[in-house]
Every structure is written in structure tokens, then in C-alpha cells.
Structure 1
Amino acid sequence: MRLAAPRIPPLADAEMDADQKELVAPMAATGRVLNIFRTLARAPKAARAFLAWGNYVLSRRNDLPPRQRELVILRVGFLCKSGYEWTQHVEIGLRDGLTPPEIARIKSGASAPDWSQDDRLLLQAADELHHDKFISDATWAGLRGSFTEKQCMDLVFTVGQYTQVSMILNTFGVPLDPGQVLDPDLKGY
């Protein structure tokens, strides 16, 4: 984690006003409000807009299959050195079909051995978007050979969303949730 203490601390339940409680109520009903949402609750109007778009990216309306979506999210989280993002999405990635060895290889990106051609293209696209804010013609052509136009759009939407999320998490200093452990490769960031 980049900061030793949050710049914008997550709200405790007792600190929330009625609007903030209403915002997190659906999460609280599941038994757990994550620190990212406790932090964003400090700006409830922004949080509602953020959640609407984020829910699209994580929903079945996003045409990237969940495993591929999580592959891309984890790559973005690692590239952005977002310990919180990485930690949350390792659990989600495992649920959505990524294996522990694949998750370890995500850190090395498309050049790591044993990726399928499709996975390699997704990782390459995430890297290009991160570094150049653009997918090269060669990578785009490869993607279009395997993915629909909508899936390619959703790939860009996903990388953009999780770049923003990583910026928020890193800059605000959102701490890991109770019971989580920071990946050693992200210590000091």
C-alpha cells in the first residue's frame, strides 16, 4: 500500500448520515460493507454514479466472460500497484475460473509462458491501454479475430473503470478490509 494511513478514512456505521446509510444499505444487507464503499460514501452522489457504471462492468451485461474480465482487472490492478484492487480481485478471479498459477503469472503480463492466445491478447491490450491509452492496430486485429466488437468495447471499458478505481484506492489510501493480506509484490507501493 502506498500510504501508511488513509487520506480519506472509511466511515464507521456510527459516522454515517441517512444518505450514506441508504447508499450502503444493499451492501450491509449482505453482511459486509467493504472499505472502498465506506470511503466513497463520503461523497454519496458521486458514489451512486460510480456504482452504476461499476455495476455494468461487473455484470453479465459486460460481454467479456467473467474469467477474462478478471484477468484484465487483475492486470490493471497490478500495473497500477493497487494493493486493495489486487487483493479484492484475486478472490473474485479464483471464483470466476482463474487458477493460482495464472494469477501469479498475471504479474508478468502477456510475456509470461503458458497463456492461451486470447489471454495473451487481453493482457497485451491492458498493457497498451495502461501505458499508451491506446490499443495498437496489431493487438486490435488479434482481438477482433477472437472477440466480438462488443467484447472489445467492454475490454476498453473494463480497463478504464479499473484504472480509475485504482487511482481512487491508491490516492485516498483505502485500507485492506479485515482479514485480508497484502501481496508481497505490492508492498511499498
Structure 2
Amino acid sequence: MAQRIPPGGRRELGLLNWGIARAGARSIRAPQMNLFNVLGQHKLLFLSFLPYSGVLLNWGKLPKRDKELVILRVGHLRNSEYELQQHRRLAKSRGLDSALQDKIFAGPTAEGLTDRQRALLTGVDEFVLNRDISDNTFADLSAHLSREQVIEFCALAGHYDTIAAILTTLRVPMDFPD
């Protein structure tokens, strides 16, 4: 499909956002980071997007393994090849090997998942597909996560669901050729 808003360069992004996009691409060892090259064309929005995204991805209260499990499941549910391409790589560096990733894609009933992983996957499925989490699932999540972590879980799932929709709607091209 044709790109609706093609990735911008230095002129479209401005010097600051162009530099941020270039640094982002280097950090993932890609020629471009097209999500940044598209979002960066809205200068103020992009600058507010970065800290929030950074907290959700790299800091906060959830362990990074849990974050990647959530992001991979959202990417799978939303059929977001861009998110999956980015986060399959990152998840491996955070301890989620290919076998565990396959279980994440199979869903919460997959054999070999921990109770915590099942609760997270069930929570993602309900949050993304129903826009809500049942009382039983909330209780399961709360048995494994603190109050702050439950809040962060919802923010993380919602954020990556939104990114998946932006990527699809704007037809953002992949960063890697594979």
C-alpha cells in the first residue's frame, strides 16, 4: 500500500527532530526509523510523544520482559508488522527467546507459560479487543502486579495499540528489509 504520509527528511522534520530520528535509527541499527520520520513532521506532538514512550518502554515499574510480552501481543493482535519487526529483536535482548515469542503469539492458553505470563496475555487480549478487562482478569493481574504496575500495564497496552493504528493508517514503511 502507498504511504499516506511519507517519511520526512531534515527539511520536513526540522533539525532537532531529524537528529532525534537519526539517533533512533542508529540505536536500533537501522538505516531509518520511519515511525520517527513520520511522527517527527508534527514537531510539538513528536517532542511530547518521546518522553512518554521512553518511560513506557525503558523505565517505569514493569520489568522489561513484561513490557515486551505486552508489546508483542498487541503487535500480534493488531497485525502490526512494524511493531513486531522492531520488538521481536528488542524482546530477544530482554530475555524473550523465539520459543517464548511463539507462545506469546499463540496466546494465553499456550503450553509452558507461567501464571504471570498468562495473566498478562489475557489482560492484553481483553484490553485491546474489548477495551476493558474483566473482574477476574483484573484480579489475576493484581495478584502479580502492584497497583502502579497495573496502571502502567494499561498505559502500555493502550499506547502500543495506538501506535499500531498510526502505523497502519499512515502506512509507515518498515525500517528493516526483512
Question: What is the TM-score when the length of structure 1 is the normalising length?
Answer: 0.86
Give deviations 1:94-152, integer Å, cap 9, x for gaps. Answer: 11110101112222210111110000000000000011111111111111111111111
Q: Which residue of 1 aligns with 2:4?
A: 7
Higher relative contact order (Cα pairs below 8 Å, separated by 6+ residues): 1
Alignment of 1:34-113 (within 5 A): 34-60=33-59, 62-113=60-111
Q: 1:92, 1:72 → 2: CA distance?
A: 13
Q: 1:89, 1:24 → 2: CA distance?
A: 22
The alignment's C-alpha RMSD in Å is 1.5
Q: 2:134, 2:107 → 1: CA distance?
A: 16
Q: 1:135 aligned to 133, 143, 161, which one? A: 133
Q: Which residue of 2 aligns with 1:24?
A: 18
Gaps of 5+ in 1: 182-189
User: How far has the Cα of 1:53 moved from its partner?
Assistant: 1.4
Give deviations 1:29-73, integer Å, cap 9, x for gaps. Answer: 46364010001112111111221211111122x211001110000
Q: 1:78, 1:92 → 2: CA distance?
A: 15
**Superposed structure 1 runs of 4+ greater than 6 Å apart:** none
Larger fraction in helix: 2
User: How far has the Cα of 1:27 moved from its partner?
Assistant: 4.2
Q: 2:132, 2:66 → 1: CA distance?
A: 19
Structure 1 residues 105, 44: closer, same or farther in 2, change over 3 A?
same
User: Paired residues, what number?
Assistant: 173
Q: 1:58, 1:107 → 2: CA distance?
A: 20
Question: What is the TM-score when the length of structure 2 is the normalising length?
Answer: 0.91
Q: 2:116 aligned to 115, 118, 123, which one? A: 118
Q: Percent same amino acid at aligned positions? A: 31
Q: 2:161 aligned to 140, 149, 163, which one? A: 163
